[in-house]
Structure 1
Amino acid sequence: MSGMAYDSGAVLGRHLRRIRHAPGVVVLTQTMPITMLLFFGYVFGSALAMPGADYRAYLVPGLMASTAAGGIMTGMFQSSQDAQRGVMDRFRTLPMSRVAVPLGQTAADTLTTAVGLMPLLLVGLAVGWRIEGGALDALGAFGLLLLFRFACNWVGVFLGLLIRDEEIAGQLGSVTFVLPLLSSAYIPTEGLPGRLRTVAEWNPISAVATAVRDLFGNGAPAAGSAWPLAHPVAGSVLWSAALLVLFVPLAVRRYTYGGK
């Protein structure tokens, strides 16, 4: 266990240095929510205004949930880049834990996200969003966001190791921006047509966005009839746990055996 922790720490340090020297993907994923906040909040804010709720107060937690889901893109791009350039092959020749490499990458991404959420939070405060709940609830909201980001990053790591091509991963990564559009991150699900509403309500991003709104005390409208939205905190934890249970073994196995 101590060996795995040491190896994971070494890989984590490598990824933090990598982000420092080549921050492009991280900067994109962290600045996009701020751009969308300013665009949606001011350009479409009046058209999307909801009775009894300030739209920007509704939007900021949704953008935080979208940022957490962005772990799929960063995990996919970084792991496919390392696989294509032979870095993963070199790691496999070293006497180190097979879990350490993907774990170090996902831990580094989660740590970076914890810092990267601060600009969005500050811009949100500047445009009128406020944390209306208690301090412990707010910490719980940030904990849920980081847990979901950690789980999504494992999904991305597996996909990146499967693809092994950073150009294709970059193209597929842009598709992940569609996922929040099929959720309650930007608009309530109540006004969506039948099947699309069902998809949106069972989208894990919807559960996380709703849970974060509840914990921040932002007075969101009725969330919907699906179980994850009726119990958003439990739903967020269960979605994150399900992703981890499924994709951690898949990512570790894919890393261990490479393209075989």
Structure 2
Amino acid sequence: MNATSALRQSWIIMLRDLKHWQREPWTPLFGIAFTIMLVLVFGYLFGGSIELPGGGDYLSYLMPGMFALAMMFGLEGTMTAIANDSKKGVTHRFRSLPISSVAVPLGRAGADLANSAVELVVLMAGGLLIGWRAGGSWSESLLAVGLLLWLRFALLWLGIFLGLVLRGEGGVMAVQILVWPIGFLSSVFVSPQDMPAWLGFLAQWNPVSATAAACRELFGNPAGVTDGVLAEHAVAVALVWPLVLAAVFVPLSARAFRRLSA
């Protein structure tokens, strides 16, 4: 089966998933509301007591990190949707059709990425309303948005793979619990330089930290770091991390879809 046919099939499945959100918009809306709540809590309740290495306004530091964290939170929704389709037999009906093994996962990823773009626009508009500003050029800001969606795309494939492999309630719950410490063990809320050395090392090499640091650099916001890989090569690391994740989990997802058992 050629690539054109696979893309056409993925497009049809993507439209199917988007129609579900059109009929039931509460899940993405609650996700956006939750992220805005975190911004208000950390920006206004805790922000006044946090000083950044190198100086700068904490809210301006926080917002790019929240954009990156919102991209990561999509992993849970993707995994849950894929797992539910598998349990209900929807995925098996797709497998009975003469379609590419990557079409169904790719269609799901495309729908989630479209939803993520809307979510990102809403969060940025909310950030502008509470005083966040992007000081970089238009091209730099567009690159920052591209890096955020690039991270989301790679993490979606991780969610798709886990949804195909871990279909039980326990597996879904375990991933939902693990997303939180991974998201918080990053530079989203606090600079890695303010953490214990071993913890700061882990935070610096978190893919969410790389994207957050790159977006701060491109948006012209406070970096929160004065040395290390995030200070010197944030954009490069933010490009490479999602590439590695996608290279690993795209073929694994296609393989898991082919081998899915009833």
The TM tier, using the shorter chain, reads over 0.9
Structure 2 partner of 1:120:
123
How many pairs were matched up?
259
**1:231–1:59: structure 2 CA closer, same or farther, 3 Å change rule?**
same
Deviation (angstroms), 1:119? 1.8
1:68 — aligned with what? 71
**Identity across the alignment (%):** 36
Structure 2 matches for 1:84-233, cutoff 5 A? 84-165=87-168, 168-170=171-173, 172-222=175-225, 224-225=227-228, 227=229, 229-233=231-235
Go from structure 1 to structure 2 and tell me whether the alpha carbon gap of 1:26 and 1:165 turns closer, same or farther (over 3 Å shift). farther
State whether structure 2 residue 258 is matched by structure 1 residue 246.
Answer: no
In structure 2, what is the Cα distance between the partners aligned to 1:45 and 1:156?
32
Report the counterpart of residue 82 of structure 2 in structure 1: 79
The CA distance in 2 between the partners of 1:201 and 1:76, in whole Å, is: 26
> Shift of the alpha carbon at 1:95?
1.1
CA distance in 2: counterparts of 1:134 and 1:194, whole angstroms = 34
Measured in 1, the distance between the counterparts of 2:27 and 2:252 equals 24
- Aligned residue for 2:165, secondary structure, equals helix
What is the rounded CA distance, in whole Å, between the counterparts of 1:141 and 1:12 in structure 2? 25
Runs of 5+ unmatched residues, structure 1: none
The alpha-carbon deviation at position 166 of structure 1 amounts to 5.1
Change (3 A) 1:157 1:103: same
Q: How far, CA to CA, are the matches of 1:229 and 1:99 in structure 2?
A: 37
Q: Contact 2:213–2:230 at 8 Å: present in 1 too?
A: no
Distance in structure 1 (CA, Å) of the matches to 2:227 and 2:29:
33
The 3-state SS of whatever aligns with 1:221 is coil
Deviation of 1:69 (Å)? 1.2
Over 4 Å off, 4+ runs: none
Q: Give the TM-score of the pair, scaled to structure 1.
A: 0.94
Structure 2 unaligned spans of 5+: none
* Cα displacement string for residues 164-194 of structure 1 (whole angstroms, at most 9, x for unaligned residues): 1356415532431222210001110101112
Secondary structure at 1:44 match in 2: helix
**Cα distance in structure 1, aligned partners of 2:230 and 2:260:** 36
CA distance in 2, matches of 1:254, 1:228: 34
When normalised by structure 2's length, the TM-score is: 0.94
Between 4-13 and 170-179, report the one with greater CA deviation.
170-179
Moved more, 153-162 or 47-56: 47-56
Secondary structure class of the residue paired with 1:36: helix
**In angstroms, what is the RMSD of aligned CA positions?**
1.7
Q: Does the 8 Å CA contact 2:192/2:225 hold for their aligned counterparts?
A: no
